Structure 1
Amino acid sequence: MPIKCFDTKGARGSVPNLKVTGHGCGSAQNKPKQHVYPISTKQETKDKRPNLAKDLAKRILDEQYAKSLEQQIKLLEFENQFLRDRGESHENRCARYGGKQILLRNENEVSLDGGNSWCRLPSFHPPLHHFMRRDCPTAFDYDEKRGDDENKNHPTNRRDRSSSPELNEKDFNKFEEMQDKELSRSWDIKRRPSTIHESDEEDETRKSPKVNPSKNDSKQRPTLSNPRSGRVGPVKQASVSRIDEIKRSIEKRRENLTNQINSVGGRRQSMPTIQPRSFSIPRKGDEAKMSSQKPSRQSSVHRHLMNENGSTKHQQEEKDELIQELEGELDFLNAEVQDRERKIAQFREKLKANEEKLNNKTANDSRDRRALMEELLELQRRLDELTPILAEKEAHIAKLENERDAATTSMRAREGEIRKLQTELSEKHQEQTFMSDRETNHKEEMKRLEATIARLEEKEMNLKTELRTLTEELLNCKKHGSELEMRLEREKNLVEQLTDEHSRLIGKNADLSSDMQKLELAVTTALSEAEEITKNIVKRDDYDKVKSSESSLRIELEASIERNKSLQLQIQQLEKQISDQEDSSSDYRESRERIQREFNALQALSRSLTEENKTLREEILDLRDKLEQQRNKLKEKDSKIFDLEDELGRIVKVHQETVHKVEKETRTQIERGLELEDVTRRLKEIADSLPRTEAGSIASRSHRPSFSREESITSQQSSVRRGTRVIPLMLDECHSPQSPHDIQKIIEMARNTLKRPL
């Protein structure tokens, strides 16, 4: 009967649904367990990293397999405990499993750890189902999705089943009938129909309360009282609870037999008061004489004793046969219980091996952790050494903070790229299944970074060349500026001279303007005088003088006006020259300042680029070191996986060899059990033939007195009884054949008893 043990929580990572199926809970087939591991991983990692996926899957499967083995062992102990003591309360069972509640769901799934993990049982497994329907208080209440109507109408609901104990008894009786059929089929023995007296006795034993077992009984049942005795088989061995009833019935029959024998012995001891001393069995020749001499009362007493002895012998033989048959069944059940104990021991050995593997893994992990701690301490020591140097550098860094502020924008972008690279690197460590793709991406990214570094170096070279050209231009500009300054100074001197001349000319112009005004006044006065003269009819000569003076004055006036105009033009030209010189000097200053600013910016950019190149080179070296470390770790893990695969193959081979050995031992035990059956059958045949030999010996020795014949009959009966009970006593002393050596010893003892003279 296969048990499917699975975890409802599932496995972590990319292995969601792991199932471990095996043969447990009383499987009759001695086959190795078949473990099915359906692993659902992405198809992208089939060709890239199969070893890492296999390692991860194996690690999860080892844990799941160990958990399934522990669950199977718990179920075996639980079923064996239930079959030993069906009267135990549910609270005691829960206390035995650490206070966790026993839960059920879907009719054939049981949980022993409060619902964390479930084991699926077959639907035709009566002992545990009988217990579930009768004793488990939370039966079919765990599944919250099921409605109240479904719980009420469910055929295996606790309310319906617990209210009708006859149905439970009927189910268990059906299970016992199946067990009897399986026993008869396995041993090829047709069970004899029991007599009315035996069936009545069995009904009485079933209805009677439990009998407290004696010390001998506790010695005869070591396999049932031992809590580590394992579990019983599926149908043949699930009736361990019935074995106690069979043993009680056997003990009761033995007590009845001893009581009957004692009562017969007591009657015999009380009979001499009735019997005369001269009573004897008549010889063949003296039959008529004895019939005429003795009364009919003596013959009736003798007949009564013979009939009583025959009936007791017949009952005793039948009961001994039944006892031997039941003891054979008990031996068979004990042998299979021991087989199950052996299997449980094998499961525990496997658990120990898995625990040792886990301990080795934890030791390796602790070793790696210790090495990492040592590396961390070394790095801390180096950091302590570098702190004073760093303090010295901070003073220099404080000076360069102004330059750093200008380059923060570019540095932030670079830091963002570096953070992206770091996150990608951490994801590479976590996602081991995609390491190959990540490695290729990382290589491409490294190439891209190298290309960017080369480009940046080219830019740096270009900037350096530009800087050189700019410095040359700046020197040329400085020379040109010095020349311009010289010219400016000369022009300033000229401007000063011109301004002086301008001021002098302005003074002259003012003088001339005053003279012109005077002349104009004089002209006006002269005109007025001329008019007066004309009016007064001045002489012609005076008029000519005035006219000539007027023309001369006009000529002087025009010359002064022209001279004034030429001076104004010179002044305007000088002003234009001065303004042009001022504009050129301001342009020169602006260009000089602009060139200085560009030069400073280029110097800051070159410094930031050199620092950035240094950091990028250091990061590239660190990334290469980390990649080499990861590759070394991958190689180590691959070697570990290969070693574990070899070890697993070796364990599988050892397991198969042990299974073959166990099968051989079971075959030899079955053959020796059949040989024991032959010996017991021969003993029964000898016991059946013994009463005939007794009658012949009594007839041949009829000349002896009657009391001696009775004593010989009782001694022969006791010897027959001892002979028929030799083998059961031997079996009771051995309790159950623990090994082939014990079976061989029992066979030899039976042969010796057959060879002894009765």
Structure 2
Amino acid sequence: MSDERRSLHTENVELQRRLEGLTPLLAEKETKLIKLEQEIEILNNKLKQQIKEIENLKINLEEKLKENLKQKSEGERIEQRFKLNIETLNNELEEREFFEKVFLKIISILKSPELTETKIKSEQREASYRREEHERYQRVIDELNEQLQQTNERFERLERERNELEIKIDELRQKNDILEMELELAHDKMSQQQETSRTLEEKQRELHLQEKEHRSAQVRAQRELEALQSLSQSLANENKGLREERADLEERIGELTEMLNIRENRVKRAAELINEFLERYRLTSGRLKQQIGRQAEDCEEFDRLIQKLRQMPIPKPGLVQNLRICGRPGVPRLEK
């Protein structure tokens, strides 16, 4: 019985040790899972932010492209209008030159001394008018060329901005791909941690079941101990009958009964300690070993005493004087 209790106690201590070893490991895994979830949340936020920036850049790029197309179309219209105006001006210049030649021919034909002064004045006025017209057309052409150059410069600037936006979008796409890879790795790592956590939880459940089985075994051992206590009470009653039958050994039997009562109280006290140990098992597992050891020694000593009392023959009146009590203190033993 004592060996079985020691074995149960040893197994309980081992289970408790394994459970205490798994508990910090499980807590560490849970901490890692929480940390991974936080990292995944951060990566998700970064990914959302990058996606939002990409969308904004796409919108800006589309707006720039629309503006670019609009400016390009407007530039083409202006250029076409400029070309038409220049062509019109060139036609007018050619027409002016043609009329000028015609006037010169007419003047040369109609040249006479009487009309020379009038002709000269008319030619001067006509030449001045042509110069003014030519200068005016030249100014219009210069203004149109300047506007065309400004339009081309603005178109080139928009083209550069569009290229810069495309480069930024490519960079953001690369960052987005990197974040997606990191997020996938984090998901894989979290899955592995969850699998490890489930394995540890399964082991912990198995340990709890084993602990429950050992507690049931302890309950059975307690019942057996109560049976031993009942047997001790029965032996005490039997000793009381022996005292009545053996009046000549009343004093010594009284001492023996007192010692038996002391042992009985010690057994009861040990039982109380065991009950207290069962209630405070998780907090006082170290004290359990000492109490069970002491109780086992007391029970063995008490069993030996009971066996010796049962085997002891009824003494005759002439042998009473030869009886003496010997043994270690606290444990009575009868010898002839």
Does TM, scored on the shorter chain, surpass 0.5? Answer: yes
Question: In the alignment, which of 350, 354, 362 is matched to residue 34 of structure 2?
Answer: 354
> Which position in structure 2 is the counterpart of 1:327?
none
Summarize the alignment of residues 532-681 of structure 1 with structure 2, pairs less than 5 Å apart.
584-585=126-127, 587-681=129-223
Q: Secondary structure at the match of 1:631?
A: helix
What do residues 293-343 of structure 1 show as CA deviations (whole Å, max 9, x unaligned)?
Answer: xxxxxxxxxxxxxxxxxxxxxxxxxxxxxxxxxxxxxxxxxxxxxx9xx98
Query: 2:64, 2:162 within 8 Å by CA — same for their partners in 1?
Result: yes
Summarize the alignment of residues 190-589 of structure 1 with structure 2, pairs less than 5 Å apart.
350-351=30-31, 353-355=33-35, 358=38, 432=51, 439=58, 448=66, 451-452=69-70, 455=73, 462=80, 469=87, 498=115, 584-585=126-127, 587-589=129-131
Distance in 2, matches of 1:750 and 1:657, equals 40
Give unmatched runs, 5+ long, in structure 1: 1-338, 369-428, 501-573
> Which position in structure 2 is the counterpart of 1:720?
264
User: C-alpha displacement at 1:436, in angstroms?
Assistant: 6.6
Distance in 2, matches of 1:744 and 1:360, equals 48
> Which position in structure 1 is the counterpart of 2:11?
none
Higher relative contact order (CA 8 A, sep 6+): 2
User: C-alpha displacement at 1:754, in angstroms?
Assistant: 8.4
Query: 2:29, 2:197 within 8 Å by CA — same for their partners in 1?
Result: no
Distance in 2, matches of 1:498 and 1:434, equals 83
Distance in 1, matches of 2:163 and 2:279, equals 77
User: C-alpha displacement at 1:631, in angstroms?
Assistant: 0.8
Asked if 1:693 corresponds to 2:235, the answer is: yes
What do residues 652-688 of structure 1 show as CA deviations (whole Å, max 9, x unaligned)?
Answer: 2222222222221221222111111111122112212
Query: 1:694, 1:713 within 8 Å by CA — same for their partners in 2?
Result: yes
Q: Secondary structure at the match of 1:619?
A: helix
User: C-alpha displacement at 1:476, in angstroms?
Assistant: 5.0
Distance in 1, matches of 2:92 and 2:49, equals 56
Q: Secondary structure at the match of 1:756?
A: helix
Distance in 2, matches of 1:674 and 1:750, equals 22
User: C-alpha displacement at 1:622, in angstroms?
Assistant: 0.3
Asked if 1:736 corresponds to 2:311, the answer is: no
From the CA coordinates, give the structure whose radius of gyration is larger. 1
Distance in 1, matches of 2:208 and 2:227, equals 29
User: C-alpha displacement at 1:621, in angstroms?
Assistant: 1.0
Distance in 2, matches of 1:663 and 1:754, equals 37
One-letter amino acid of the structure 1 residue matched with residue 262 of structure 2: S
Identity among equivalent pairs (%): 13
Query: 1:453, 1:613 within 8 Å by CA — same for their partners in 2?
Result: yes
| RMSD of aligned Cα (Å) | 5.1
User: C-alpha displacement at 1:596, in angstroms?
Assistant: 1.6
Distance in 2, matches of 1:732 and 1:683, equals 14
What do residues 463-522 of structure 1 show as CA deviations (whole Å, max 9, x unaligned)?
Answer: 78668757966975896698699789989x97x95598xxxxxxxxxxxxxxxxxxxxxx
Query: 1:723, 1:753 within 8 Å by CA — same for their partners in 2?
Result: no
Give the direction of change, closer, same or farther, for the CA distance of 1:719–1:744 in structure 2 (3 Å limit).
closer
One-letter amino acid of the structure 2 residue matched with residue 688 of structure 1: S
> Which position in structure 2 is the counterpart of 1:36?
none
User: C-alpha displacement at 1:446, in angstroms?
Assistant: 6.8
Query: 2:274, 2:292 within 8 Å by CA — same for their partners in 1?
Result: no
Q: Secondary structure at the match of 2:282?
A: coil
Distance in 2, matches of 1:431 and 1:746, equals 66
Give the direction of change, closer, same or farther, for the CA distance of 1:678–1:353 in structure 2 (3 Å limit).
same
Query: 2:236, 2:257 within 8 Å by CA — same for their partners in 1?
Result: yes
Distance in 2, matches of 1:744 and 1:353, equals 38
One-letter amino acid of the structure 2 residue matched with residue 721 of structure 1: N
Give the direction of change, closer, same or farther, for the CA distance of 1:454–1:757 in structure 2 (3 Å limit).
same
User: C-alpha displacement at 1:713, in angstroms?
Assistant: 1.1
Distance in 2, matches of 1:754 and 1:436, equals 85
Distance in 1, matches of 2:291 and 2:196, equals 33
Query: 2:78, 2:148 within 8 Å by CA — same for their partners in 1?
Result: yes
Distance in 2, matches of 1:349 and 1:652, equals 8
> Which position in structure 2 is the counterpart of 1:707?
251
> Which position in structure 2 is the counterpart of 1:96?
none
Distance in 2, matches of 1:733 and 1:680, equals 11
User: C-alpha displacement at 1:451, in angstroms?
Assistant: 4.9
Q: Secondary structure at the match of 2:281?
A: coil
> Which position in structure 1 is the counterpart of 2:311?
none
Give the direction of change, closer, same or farther, for the CA distance of 1:458–1:499 in structure 2 (3 Å limit).
closer
TM-score, reference length from structure 2: 0.59
One-letter amino acid of the structure 2 residue matched with residue 599 of structure 1: I
User: C-alpha displacement at 1:629, in angstroms?
Assistant: 1.1
Distance in 2, matches of 1:746 and 1:731, equals 14
Query: 1:446, 1:620 within 8 Å by CA — same for their partners in 2?
Result: yes
User: Which structure dedicates a bigger proportion of its chain to helix?
Assistant: 2
User: C-alpha displacement at 1:707, in angstroms?
Assistant: 2.5
